[in-house]
Amino acid sequence: MSNKSINALLMTAICCLSFCSSKVKTEKIVTEKIVIINSGVKDKAKSLAKKIAIIDSLNPRVLALDFAIYATNDPYGDSLLIATLSRCKNLVMGVGIVNYTGRDTVYSEVLGTEPEFWTKNAKIGYTNVKVENDQFGTAKKISIYENVSGFRMYNLAVRTAMSYDSLKTMAYIKDKPRIIDIEYRGGDSNFRTIPYEDVFKKRLTRKDIEGKIVFIGYLEAFKGYKERHDKDVSLKGYKGHYDEDVSFTPLNNKIPPYKPDMHGVVVLANIVAQVLGEK
């Protein structure tokens, strides 16, 4: 075999190896400080209490709930859940501001977790983001805080970062305007995520949770984005499946058929990483 043929074979092999390496490259994790646990389907109060108790027993630095908790027709289950939430050492709970615009005004109403579940030590933050006035309602900005009934309420992500490291968070927001751009670090695959069933099947270890920011939020597969997104129509305000919490972000390639690219809890995780200076 000639030297020319050998060189050609070597170049082919190198190219093949390079291609294979690029195909198996793993996604870069933004930070090891943040873990997201899928909230899964809606739990009954007793089941949710058990799940939260298991996670809290592994000593997270902060436990942030990106879902609503409502009273049920099971008073015992509700009482058990309230007692479990009360034992959480550093709990942050999300609500939504009604008729949110992002303008500097006074808001009077929030929806989401009902006040009877707002335990004494829990911090409350709003989950609203300031969407763009475009076809997709792109989640591009947040307000750091809002005036709700005369009280300053922080965005859930900012409040979570504050509960993790108050000095670093206050240093970050000190010179910032009230409205800031979200500096996205990555999508769903760029954060540590844990399936819902792993909690009950005791697959979690203290190493997974201890000392970390643990979000519990919706991470199910996207549903309900078919026919309407195949057409060139206005998508802003479209909610998809009734229980979805998903967004279009600037990372979206926005190629038909249009689909949102990020779960809401991952948007929050990006903001926490931004505030804490995680690259």
Phi, psi of 97 (to 5 degrees): -80, 130
Residues 199, 209: Cα–Cα separation, whole Å? 11
pLDDT beyond 60 at 1: no
Residue 197's identity, in one-letter code, is: E
Phi, psi of 56 (to 5 degrees): -65, -30
pLDDT beyond 60 at 16: no
pLDDT at 258: 84
pLDDT beyond 60 at 48: yes
Lowest mean pLDDT among 36-50, 94-108, 126-140: 36-50
Residue indicated by tokens 């979690």? 204
The number of C-alpha atoms within 13 Å of 188 and in the hemisphere containing its C-beta is 21
Helix ranges (DSSP H) in 39-177: 45-57, 75-87, 156-164, 166-173
pTM score, whole prediction: 0.83
pLDDT beyond 90 at 158: yes
Decide if 196 contacts 38 (C-beta within 8 A): yes
pLDDT at 54: 95
Residues 279, 93: Cα–Cα separation, whole Å? 25
pLDDT at 223: 54
pLDDT at 100: 95
Q: Token digits for 201?
A: 């099947």
Mean pLDDT over the full length of the chain: 84
pLDDT beyond 80 at 114: yes
pLDDT at 67: 93
pLDDT beyond 60 at 185: yes
State mean pLDDT over 53-63.
Answer: 97
Decide if 245 contacts 264 (C-beta within 8 A): yes
Decide if 203 contacts 248 (C-beta within 8 A): no
